[in-house]
Structure 1
Amino acid sequence: MLQPFRLALALVLVSGAAAGAEPATWARVDRKRSVTIASTPAEPLPVVHVAAEARTVFLFSAPIQRKTLTFDESRIRVLDVGERSIIVQPVANLTDGERQEIGVFFADGRAPTRAAFVLVTDPRDVDALIDVQRPEPPNTACQPTAQVPAPRPEDFVLLGYVDAKGVTTSRRKGKLDAAQGFILNKIVAFRGTGWILADVTILNRPDHSAWTPREAMFVGRVGTPLRARLVAEKPGAILPGGEGRVLAAVEVPETEADFIFTLEVRGDGERRLTIPDVRFLKPAAEDAL
């Protein structure tokens, strides 16, 4: 007679113990959202919430250069890098006030060339999926009489291209590969806040055909080449015996060391302008007031 009662009592006690053993549910809420990256160095980086118990997936709207990915390996794990994706997970929850930066360059060279984010841990939620968007290019449709205002010195400071460290330069002259038919009149290497620019003046030898520069790449000793924006002072071909000036610029991560690149400018046919050992000097120290 007592056996059913004892069984029921045992079930009640077991179920009560199990209920008491359930942990309090403090799970973070998973978020899926779109994030637009900064278009200039002066803009704040988008903030992404990460957590040690979750993975965060970044999906990019364009292919990325995997070898240009930068992050603190002691704090962040990168679980996978694809053509258009990155999966990350912190080694441990980031401490209160800790901000970890992660960044990568796009493969197409279109501005903005780099996507960067600030990673933090929030007790309330975690970003499971980040749909990375690039800012839309400005609307070029305008009235026929409208003119773009000439840039002013203050514009460069307001846009963040020049800061208190100023701009460093190096220059050199010398002959290039005679087989390609170019003579290097001058190259000036500029380095500012988050960018480098090579200002190149060359002579197309008289015994070679006309040549039109088409694209430029900065090739480092390690890592993936960086596709640069190329601007010619005078659009069109550089005629035999003629002189031409081109400028190649690209965004780069900020470091306290010199950059050394080989500059390649490709043009018509198989001819290319190759300038080795172009040195971009490290930023100058800020003067104390």
Structure 2
Amino acid sequence: MIQPFRLALALALAWGAAAHAEPLPEGRVRRERPVTVASTAGEPLPMVHIAQDTPTLLLFPAPIQRKSLTFDESRIRVLDAGERSVIVQAVSDLRKDEQQELGVFFADGRAPARAAFSLVTDPAEVDTRIDVQRPALPDSACPTAAQSRVPQPEDFVLLGYVDEMGVTTSEVDTVESSAQGLSSNRSMSFRGKGWVLVDLQVLNGMDRPAWTPREALLVGRVGGPLRARLVNVQGDAIPPGKERRVLVVADTQGLEASASFTLEVRGDGGRSLTIQKVRFPRPAPGEAR
């Protein structure tokens, strides 16, 4: 099976070969060139020349979040989006005074996190291939916290984690300390577009050794357990008598239709925290969440 990146590259080479064999309509010159994305929100967007009769290939230096692509579908057609490439074409040549924005997030989250371009039509030339370049950080070996991009509310919509139904929540029952020496309180479950999440405050017993959560399982009434992704927010062990925040995330595609689940968070020393009757808000009737 041909990988998307290789397929896009093969198409670009084929278009380049065709350019030498066929004259361009209206005398447009085909160009292949590098373009550097803006490093800050205040910088002007780099310009890319597109046309109705010529596809334009954008090759990225790192994997992209294909679901985060934003563009006006009435004016721009995306022919293909791969792991590190996007092929675009104008539905019709853009007007002389018209500019269309195309944007996409990089998958690694490194600054600049989003690549955006101003698409225009030029009667004299068209870009057949754009090698997207990313500005280097001032000190790439040791980035500072100030250089890290803080997630914004719009990111969750652009990445497809929130839709018109928003995010719904439900309370999770408190768990008292048991023989395992672990308890939880102030817990909440969330449901968004395609995902569910349980936000836990886990307390380690005063007389117990430090404990690090390692894995999480959601068990329904039927079928096998669903292994969920566990996020230890502070990234270290929970000391005796201390409380830490732990997030459990699962994809709703692997989640069976069940009224409630048992959540088991396993960790060091064979100790685990078990929470019964974890309920996730149900999607609205007729909505695929």
**TM-score (norm. length: structure 2):** 0.49
The structure with more radius of gyration: 1
Alignment TM-score, normalising by the size of structure 1: 0.49
